[in-house]
């Protein structure tokens, strides 16, 4: 379920009367799709609803409701919202997982803090984390990616970090990239990626 290409639900009209917060949270579990979607739409106005929205998202099967929940979480953009989305990186539902990734990319400050905690997770989850870091509009993005290069023991995670640095790396990344080749000396794909990154960085 691509988040970005999906049609966003309409925002509440300025003159609409907001239902009670407690009612909206209960309606996230309403058997009627329209009621769940409307509740999610309204809860984007309540930053304290992030935990309830994330819990509902993990169980929601209807695409339009998922989009409404994700739109609300992006609007909230808090650390609680990011924390609630990160467990979905381990979901077996590819649509849900990819939507969580795209949503996290829109929360630079919140995601940047929370993502540090996932680098003790599985290889796949760490790769998703690197993809998100590479897309964040955050001044510490490169620093976080260099930490991955220096610390992660899985070549595929480091290769993902090299790819991310293609888009954002500067000369500070040159030494860590060269040191990475010393850590993984017999990986042709990584060797190619690193030299491509070095060439691009050195031309900037």
Taking 50 as the threshold, does the pLDDT of residue 1 lie above it? Answer: no
pLDDT band at 164 (very low <50, low <70, confident <90, very high): very high
Give all domains of the chain, ordered by start, each with its CATH number. Answer: 1-109 (1.25.10.10)
Taking 50 as the threshold, does the pLDDT of residue 91 lie above it? Answer: yes
pLDDT of residue 2: 47
Kindly report, residue by residue over 117-154, the tens digit of the pLDDT.
788 889 999 999 999 999 999 999 999 999 999 999 99
Report percent pLDDT > 90 for the chain.
82
Kindly report, residue by residue over 40-80, the tens digit of the pLDDT.
999 999 999 999 999 999 999 999 999 999 999 999 999 99
Kindly report, residue by residue over 9-44, the tens digit of the pLDDT.
555 555 567 789 999 999 999 999 999 999 999 999
* CA distance readout (Å), 98 to 12, 31, 148: 26, 25, 21
Taking 90 as the threshold, does the pLDDT of residue 104 lie above it? Answer: yes
**How far is it, in rounded angstroms, from Cα 26 to Cα 22?**
6
């Amino acid at each position: 379920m691509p988040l970005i290409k999906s049609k966003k639900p309409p925002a509440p009209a300025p003159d609409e009367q907001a239902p009670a917060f407690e009612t909206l949270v209960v309606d996230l579990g309403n058997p009627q799709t329209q009621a769940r979607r409307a509740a999610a739409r309204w809860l984007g106005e309540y930053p304290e609803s992030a935990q309830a929205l994330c819990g509902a998202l993990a169980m929601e099967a209807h695409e339009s409701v998922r989009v409404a929940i994700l739109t609300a979480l992006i609007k909230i953009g808090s650390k609680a919202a990011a924390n609630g989305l990160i467990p979905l990186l381990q979901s077996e539902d590819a649509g849900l997982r990819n939507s969580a990734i795209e949503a996290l990319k829109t929360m630079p400050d919140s995601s940047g803090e929370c993502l540090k905690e996932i680098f003790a997770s599985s290889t796949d989850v760490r790769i998703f984390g690197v993809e998100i870091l590479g897309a964040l509009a955050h001044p510490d993005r490169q620093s976080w990616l260099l930490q991955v290069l220096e610390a992660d023991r899985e070549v595929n995670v480091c290769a993902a970090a090299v790819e991310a640095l293609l888009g954002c790396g500067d000369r500070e990344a040159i030494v860590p990239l060269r040191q990475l080749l010393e850590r993984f000396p017999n990986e042709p794909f990584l060797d190619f990626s690193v030299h491509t990154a070095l060439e691009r960085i050195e031309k900037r």
